[in-house]
Structure 1
Amino acid sequence: PVDPVSRARLRLVHHRVIRDWYPLVAEIENSTAKKAEKPRQQLKESIVAANDLFKESDFLLSEELSLVDCTLAPLFWRLPVYGIDLGKPGSTIQGYIQRLISRPSFKASLTRAEREMVLNAT
């Protein structure tokens, strides 16, 4: 974004995603199925709680793709692998996820293993 306030908001959200969501992802990936249940639930609840951020525009707080969107795309792509279904409360986020993963640049960035990972999880 051009204006400083919008840039600051995006930087703040980016910081929160890295600080709050990615440690939960690491915990899910490095834990047994039973121990991963708590961080899985925390991640789901936190994502759903942010639902309103995804209503404002095509991308997160912006009409243009930003670094925050690029940070969220791999996490959201892997939600089925982590056993997280956002359900009806996350319907706005589901639309956002579809806009992200349908981009040719996102599809081109996936390795064969990443494509298969999600296909095998669904």
Structure 2
Amino acid sequence: MKFLLIMHMNPTLWEKLSPDEQQEVFDGHDRFQEIIRESGEMVGTKALDAPGNTATVTVRDGSPEVAAGPYVPGETFACGYYVVDVASKERAVELAALIPDAKLTAVEVREVVHDDGAE
């Protein structure tokens, strides 16, 4: 079963962390990736740009409309994700708890229901 482990970021909270605390988060991601690579559960990972660089596209009356910023406004935003292939949702939740972002904001666990095989 594949799951998306979606990490969320709060820039205000991030800026309050010391450089050493920020480095702990980066190091934690390195350790997490090592765990899921060694276990064979890692499919892939991506980091996403900040919401200020986002364009949201909607189509109304056949015409595309483009707005600057995220679809869901707010301070906290999705900043990246891991795709893991695990035996159960329980294992996906267990892995999500190992991601450093879970201690700062949240990690959302969502099953992949369609997969074209490309990562």
* TM more than 0.5: no
Q: Give TM-score, length-normalised by structure 1.
A: 0.32
Structure ID, larger Rg: 2
Q: Give TM-score, length-normalised by structure 2.
A: 0.32
Higher relative contact order (CA 8 A, sep 6+): 2
| Greater fraction helix | 1
